Structure 1
Amino acid sequence: MNKVLEVENLRVSFHTYAGEVQSVRGVSFVLNKGETLAVVGESGCGKTVTAKAIMRLITTPPGEIKSGSKIICEDKDVLSMNEKELRCFRGAEVSMIFQDPMTSLNPTMIVGKQIAESIVIHRELNKKEAFNAAVKMLQVVGIPNADKRARQYPHEFSGGMRQRAMIAIALACNPKILIADEPTTALDVTIQAQIMELISDLQQKLGTAVILVTHDLGVVADVADRIQVMYAGEIIERGTTNEIFYNPQHPYTWALLQSVPNLSTDNKSNLYSLGGTPPDLIKPPIGCPFAERCEYCMPICKEAEPAVTKISETQEVSCWLKHAMAPKVEKPKILNKNI
């Protein structure tokens, strides 16, 4: 497959009054043309920071993308781009759907004009032509009465329609990569399914590669080709969707899967809850970052960071349980067939 994005040893820190917060610590991955890569993990694990780093949206200061980090998009070095090059890169090469459409959309500007702005920049159309193109984009994302809606303000849209408008803005210039950061946050389950179906349909039509950032494994089950699990700023497991759901290897992945309700869950039963809290990334732990919360923790887990173990051609994990000398443990019974 043709790779459209390559991230290597990405490290991002934020300088605060308390010290340097190491939000992303050595993340590396490849995104191939037309595929959907899901990045999952709980809040604060570094998912959104990774996504914003790819877009060069880390505010400096207090943020800093560390030297040695590499972000290559179709042979272009993103981290060496100047402001003019970034304006061409954002929107035309890579676009992003942000978490909260209400705060991402300008409340003082009609929706059609907001979509038309990026079209004027990247497609070299005049304002009238760009507005007409914006109306067509609203039709593409399934908003009825698009001509009327394009002349309305964000507060006149429902949550689902605002998210559709954000998708229209992101896809207006046919980018090669779409980053969707928690695209279903604060939407009810029915609208969530519609938004994910819309992103999937548009991806197939346009051939866009998608990075789907989410904490909800249930959202990615039907749409992702590959999944990488993040914890404390690191990727601790990666594999195809089937491998992560049906053959997970890391105890943190087990915990994520156990916490997802499914059709066989009894109404009176309690959902699994992972105890403890993530580590302080001002002073990251020496060993495995998950050690303090892991019920399978061994002394070595707190003394040295685990090496990456290859499970298959497409799956790898960072866990001492995969070491040849580690004791054999039985995986929890994860009922994920109905997720």
Structure 2
Amino acid sequence: MEKILDIKDLRVSFHTYAGEVQSVRGISFHLNKGETLAVVGESGCGKTVTAKAIMRLLPEPMPAEIKEGSKIEFDGNSVLDMDEKDLRELRGADISMIFQDPMTSLNPTMTIGKQISESLIIHRGMSKDEAMKEAIKMLDLVNIPNADKRAYQYPHEFSGGMRQRAMIAIALACNPKILIADEPTTALDVTIQAQIMDLIGDLQEKLGTAVILVTHDLGVVADVADRIQVMYAGQIIERGNVDEIFYNPQHPYTWALLQSVPRLDTKNKDVLYALNGTPPDLIKPPVGCPFAARCEYCMGICREAMPEVTVVSDTHEVSCWLKHSMAPEIEVPKVLKRGEE
């Protein structure tokens, strides 16, 4: 498959009164045309910072800083070398983003139709009338009823699910090559979550857009992602296709994420799994594995040195000392296996 986005050794820091927070610490990955890549991890692991760095939406050079040596290439062009004019053309037209909270991302003083029209006027050179007609079509495409009337309403007149659909319409108005969806189902009830994910999948098929799905919920990505990469403390600790991550996970943190998802066969009085401890302080990141302090399988070497990347298969990699040839054998906890759904 052809790469559309290539990221190498991305490092992002934030300069605060307490010191330099190393939010993203040397991650590398790629995105192929038309595929869905899920970035999974708990709050604070660097998922959203990575997404915003791709579009250069971080407050640079202060307090955010993308470190020298980082590389972000879109269609062979360096995003980090683009000037403001190039970035304006990139954002919306080539790469669009659905932000986490639509209520704070939408402009409360502008109608929904006008907010969609803006990008069409800027990137596709449409007149105001043409842009509004196209905006109504986009609202209809994302299954908002009475789109011709809703286009002239304000964000506060929309429900949470409809605001999220409006955000998707804005993001897809110019038919971008990449859509970054940052927690697109946060604060929505389960039925609306399913509708939003189905909608993104349907639009992806129709438009051929590549998707980066940022989420903390593995349940959300199970049916939509092609590949999954698990982040922890600013690093990618495991990556693989959906079957490999769900049915053959290799990292203790991935095991913890899978065990924390409630199962349908859980009995009424069963205790739900909880991961103890807190993520490390990224002002002073640990020398060894960042998960060592919370890992029940931690060995001495885990605290002393970063684990090497172990290739499990052509599409599956993990960074864990348990995969070393000299590591002791352990009993892997029971995680979801094929046929047990």
Provide the TM-score with structure 2 as the length reference.
0.98
> Which secondary structure does the structure 1 equivalent of 2:175 belong to?
coil
Decide whether aligned partners of structure 1 residues 86 and 311 sit closer, same or farther in structure 2, where only a CA change above 3 A counts. Answer: same
The answer to whether the 8 Å contact 2:247/2:336 transfers is: no
Decide whether aligned partners of structure 1 residues 302 and 160 sit closer, same or farther in structure 2, where only a CA change above 3 A counts. Answer: same
Provide the residue aligned with 2:64 in structure 1.
Answer: 63
> Which secondary structure does the structure 2 equivalent of 1:91 belong to?
coil
- Mapped to 2, the partners of 1:133 and 1:246 lie a distance apart of 43
The answer to whether the 8 Å contact 1:257/1:336 transfers is: no
CA offset at residue 268 of structure 1? Answer: 1.7
- Mapped to 2, the partners of 1:202 and 1:84 lie a distance apart of 28
Kindly provide the amino acid, as one letter, of the partner of residue 170 in structure 2.
Answer: I
- Mapped to 1, the partners of 2:267 and 2:212 lie a distance apart of 33
- Mapped to 2, the partners of 1:279 and 1:119 lie a distance apart of 43
Kindly provide the amino acid, as one letter, of the partner of residue 175 in structure 2.
Answer: N
Provide the residue aligned with 2:170 in structure 1.
Answer: 169
Pair 1:41 & 2:41 matched: yes
Provide the residue aligned with 1:223 in structure 2.
Answer: 224
> Which secondary structure does the structure 1 equivalent of 2:118 belong to?
helix
Provide the residue aligned with 2:278 in structure 1.
Answer: 277
Query: C-alpha deviations, 1:154-208, integer Å up to 9, x for none?
Result: 0000000000000000000000000000000000000000000000000011000
Provide the residue aligned with 1:18 in structure 2.
Answer: 18
Query: C-alpha deviations, 1:183-234, integer Å up to 9, x for none?
Result: 0000000000000000000001100000000000000000000000000000
Kindly provide the amino acid, as one letter, of the partner of residue 144 in structure 1.
Answer: P
Structure 2: 5+ residue stretches without partners: none
- Mapped to 2, the partners of 1:110 and 1:73 lie a distance apart of 32
CA offset at residue 335 of structure 1? Answer: 3.0
Kindly provide the amino acid, as one letter, of the partner of residue 327 in structure 1.
Answer: P
Provide the TM-score with structure 1 as the length reference.
0.99
CA offset at residue 336 of structure 1? Answer: 5.7
Provide the residue aligned with 2:192 in structure 1.
Answer: 191
The answer to whether the 8 Å contact 1:54/1:71 transfers is: yes
Kindly provide the amino acid, as one letter, of the partner of residue 297 in structure 1.
Answer: C
Provide the residue aligned with 1:78 in structure 2.
Answer: 79
Provide the residue aligned with 1:288 in structure 2.
Answer: 289
Provide the residue aligned with 2:52 in structure 1.
Answer: 52
Structure 1: 5+ residue stretches without partners: none
CA offset at residue 49 of structure 1? Answer: 0.2
Kindly provide the amino acid, as one letter, of the partner of residue 274 in structure 2.
Answer: S
- Mapped to 2, the partners of 1:70 and 1:226 lie a distance apart of 21
CA offset at residue 148 of structure 1? Answer: 0.1
- Mapped to 1, the partners of 2:337 and 2:133 lie a distance apart of 45
- Mapped to 2, the partners of 1:248 and 1:186 lie a distance apart of 28
Q: How does 1:4-153 map to 2 (within 5 A)?
A: 4-60=4-60, 61-153=62-154
> Which secondary structure does the structure 1 equivalent of 2:92 belong to?
helix
CA offset at residue 47 of structure 1? Answer: 0.2
Kindly provide the amino acid, as one letter, of the partner of residue 2 in structure 1.
Answer: E
The answer to whether the 8 Å contact 1:48/1:181 transfers is: yes
- Mapped to 2, the partners of 1:222 and 1:91 lie a distance apart of 26
Provide the residue aligned with 1:200 in structure 2.
Answer: 201
Kindly provide the amino acid, as one letter, of the partner of residue 305 in structure 1.
Answer: M
Provide the residue aligned with 1:232 in structure 2.
Answer: 233
